[in-house]
Amino acid sequence: MAAYPHTFLWGASTSPHQIEGNNINSDWWAREGLMPGMEPSGDADDSYHRYREDMQLLADAGLNAYRFGIEWARIEPRPGEFSNAELAHYRRMIDTALELGLKPVVTLHHFSNPRWFAEEGGWLSPAATDRFIAYVTRATEVLHGVEWVITINEPNMMAMMVMLQESMRNGQLSQWQSPTVEGESDRDRIAASLPVPTAEFAAPFIDAHHAVRDIIRQRAGAQVGWSIANGAFYSTPENSTKLAEVRFLWEDIYLEASSDDDFVGVQAYSAQEVDANGLVPHPEHPENTAVGSAYRPDALGTALRHSAEVTGLPTLVTENSIATTDDARRIEYTTAALEGLEAAIADGVDVRGYLHWSLLDNYEWGHWGPTFGLIAVDRTTFVRTPKPSLHWLGKVAQSRGQNA
């Protein structure tokens, strides 16, 4: 068995919009009311008020880290108007995590934007980086004692979402497509067919990430990185040139932009083939997950190795899991994923922690159906019911060594 460093983080991840509820000043909230086929997030899991209970369950299970986010739309509900009360709310969350023995891993942007930011042009506006700098600068006021900060979650998925929005604006797409649920999503076809290079959509995120990195280091003293969706892409030898091309646009452009970061967040769920035409959509298969992706727990090992190789940085698994209603399947998937992680460590990959997605069943970006949580949540009473997988992961953490 691989030797885990004694400081290894064992925990779970969430994002604000997916669990807090009533994120009314965000662009997602606005979108949910307008787009056909989208379920609203509503009260979500009401974790905005129940975060202590959520963290307590995580700590009681024997885990030592919690990744959660600060919601920009709450901190800056109008341009230049910052809420001290909301900053204090997130400080209380950080203090609660520390009090419970959980290392906070804090994300500053996870898919959702303030509504006003989206209305002024969002990430394609020339003002985007300055707007992000202003928000992050205020957010750092409450980040003391936080060792791990993620600037932007999945800039590659964000770039894809901006691309989808542009496609809707110019009529290439008529209906809302969930960014994370396959089958109903045209994302692969669009990525392959759009005339605009994906690199243009990557640029604003890379620019914003670079602009805030030193602000966070200097003002909060934290290690800074971002978390990148890794597709664990593969091909036959004759398609290796296409594989390199697809990899570059989907992930390497972001991995290469991380080279001056302190770590890289690795997010892996499934693996996907690239053929001569590009990404091959996952075929229908009885083992496919509840979001339509292939059952590929080996994706984590591949993703860790590739991320480490391209960036040369320490890695932190910031998301990994499976959408399923069968908790035994979740345990089976995670067991195999951890085998891949351990093999990577044994081969010299520097892995600093494993944060499972997700602590709670939550709002899957337009849908409530696919569940990723270690804890089920009754969305009327908000009663939390830990699943066997939560205790299982806690036992794994305890038995394989953890934070001293």
**Is residue 153 involved in binding ligand BGC (CB under 6 A)?**
yes
**Is residue 295 involved in binding ligand BGC (CB under 6 A)?**
no
**Is residue 113 involved in binding ligand BGC (CB under 6 A)?**
no
**Is residue 180 involved in binding ligand BGC (CB under 6 A)?**
yes
- The smaller minimum CB distance to ligand BGC, of residues 157 and 345, is found at 157
Q: In DSSP terms, which residues pair with 316 in a beta bridge? A: 265
Q: Given the rule CB under 6 A, which of 151-159, 198-206, 217-225, 327-335 is the region that contacts ligand BGC?
A: 151-159
Nearest to 111 by CA among 226, 204, 207, 17: 17
Contact residues for 132 (Cβ-Cβ < 8 A; gap 6+) = 109, 208, 211, 212
Q: Print the binding letters for residues 17-46 with ligand BGC: x by CB under 6 A, - otherwise.
A: -x----------------------------
Q: Given the rule CB under 6 A, which of 97-105, 149-157, 164-172, 379-387 is the region that contacts ligand BGC?
A: 149-157
State in angstroms the smallest separation of the CB of 227 from ligand BGC. 7
Q: Given the rule CB under 6 A, which of 65-73, 152-160, 335-343, 393-401 is the region that contacts ligand BGC?
A: 152-160
**Is residue 71 involved in binding ligand BGC (CB under 6 A)?**
no
State in angstroms the smallest separation of the CB of 99 from ligand BGC. 26
Neighbours of 88 (CB within 10 A): 12
- The smaller minimum CB distance to ligand BGC, of residues 293 and 402, is found at 293
State in angstroms the smallest separation of the CB of 346 from ligand BGC. 27
Q: Print the binding letters for residues 332-361 with ligand BGC: x by CB under 6 A, - otherwise.
A: -------------------------x----
Give the CB-nearest residue to ligand BGC.
180
- Residue 134: its H or E element: helix 128-139
CA distance 162 to 157: 9
Residues written for the chain: 404
Q: At what angle do helices 155-169 and 198-220 cross, to 10 degrees?
A: 140
- The smaller minimum CB distance to ligand BGC, of residues 45 and 403, is found at 45
Burial status of residue 173 (CB atoms within 10 A of its CB: 0-12, 13-18, 19 or more) = middle
List, as one string, the DSSP characters of 160-184.
HHHHHHHHHHTTS--S---SS-SSS
Q: Which long-range contacts (CB under 8 A, 24 or more apart) does 367-371 make?
A: 367/38, 367/39, 367/178, 367/181, 368/39, 369/290, 370/181, 370/289, 370/290, 370/291, 370/323, 371/290, 371/323, 371/324, 371/325
Strands 384-386 and 375-377: antiparallel
- The smaller minimum CB distance to ligand BGC, of residues 250 and 357, is found at 357
Backbone angles phi, psi at 284, to 5 degrees: -55, 135
- The smaller minimum CB distance to ligand BGC, of residues 4 and 111, is found at 111
**Is residue 152 involved in binding ligand BGC (CB under 6 A)?**
no
Neighbours of 103 (CB within 10 A): 22
Q: Print the binding letters for residues 367-386 with ligand BGC: x by CB under 6 A, - otherwise.
A: -----x--------------
Q: Print the binding letters for residues 228-267 with ligand BGC: x by CB under 6 A, - otherwise.
A: -x-------------------------------------x
**Is residue 154 involved in binding ligand BGC (CB under 6 A)?**
yes
CA distances from 181 to 160, 174, 231, 290, 367 (A): 13, 17, 14, 8, 9
Q: In DSSP terms, which residues pair with 149 in a beta bridge? A: 106, 224
State in angstroms the smallest separation of the CB of 357 from ligand BGC. 6
**Is residue 319 involved in binding ligand BGC (CB under 6 A)?**
yes
Indicate which single residue of 355, 364, 377, 396 sits in contact with ligand BGC (rule: CB under 6 A): 364
- The smaller minimum CB distance to ligand BGC, of residues 300 and 345, is found at 300
Backbone angles phi, psi at 159, to 5 degrees: -60, -40
CA distance 203 to 254: 9
Positions touching ligand BGC (CB under 6 A) are 15, 18, 153-154, 157, 180, 229, 267, 291, 319, 357, 364, 372
